[in-house]
A and B are shown apart, each in its own frame.
Chain A
Amino acid sequence: NAGVTQTPKFRILKIGQSMTLQCAQDMNHNYMYWYRQDPGMGLKLIYYSVGAGITDKGEVPNGYNVSRSTTEDFPLRLELAAPSQTSVYFCATRYGRAQYFGPGTRLTVL
């Protein structure tokens, strides 16, 4: 059981570039989440999904897009990277009341 996996671990982007952060889980959990964590801060919810084909915005969705075509995968897309998107991104699943977090992707936009 790999749990929640995220790729890449680190990435440096130039302003205006696009990229997709990958998140995969093998626990068959319906609920999945994307968070960002800025230095010295708590996590902020970007998007979440309650099942394949269903997604909704969180607290800070601007500049991001998501899709959920399968239960296992929940990619996060940045279309036009901006310095304000420099952060650590965590993917998580939820089963019952427990959340399970991936190891994170550290993204720097220069």
Chain B
Amino acid sequence: ELKVEQNPLFLSMQEGKNYTIYCNYSTTSDRLYWYRQDPGKSLESLFVLLSNGAVKQEGRLMASLDTKARLSTLHITAAVHDLSATYFCAVDKAGNQFYFGTGTSLTVIP
């Protein structure tokens, strides 16, 4: 069974601080996705990482992928309140079966 694990599950951080969310997965996959979900809302695509060593950045978020270690990280730089949300990583199997992590609930405190 393919497993996708995220840690931490809950993260409370002060504005202006940096932190990293980790995503480990149990099967070979060259594609890793990050999504954001605001409370009661749908999912919004943040990053698609397509190969080993891929790094993508958007504003205060940077995602990277190490396919050999089966690990992706989502790094938050100088957090602001607007980043408070739940972040999910996902991998796909055979291009169509997507497996999601349990999510990291991030709260940024002023």
B-binding residues in A (CB < 8 A): 31, 33, 35, 40-45, 48, 50, 56, 58-59, 90, 92, 97-104
Contacts and interface: CB of A to CB of B under 8 A. Distances in A.
Nearest to A90: B42
Contacts of A48: 96-97
Contact of B98 (A56, A99, A103): A99
B100 A42 contact: yes
Contact of B33 (A35, A99, A102): A99
A42 B102 contact: yes
B97 A58 contact: yes
A40 B67 CA distance: 27
Given A97-B50, A98-B45, A42 B4 contact: yes
Given A98-B45, A98-B48, A31 B100 contact: no
Given A97-B50, A102-B42, A104-B42, A41 B97 contact: no
Contacts of A31: 96
Contacts of A103: 41-42
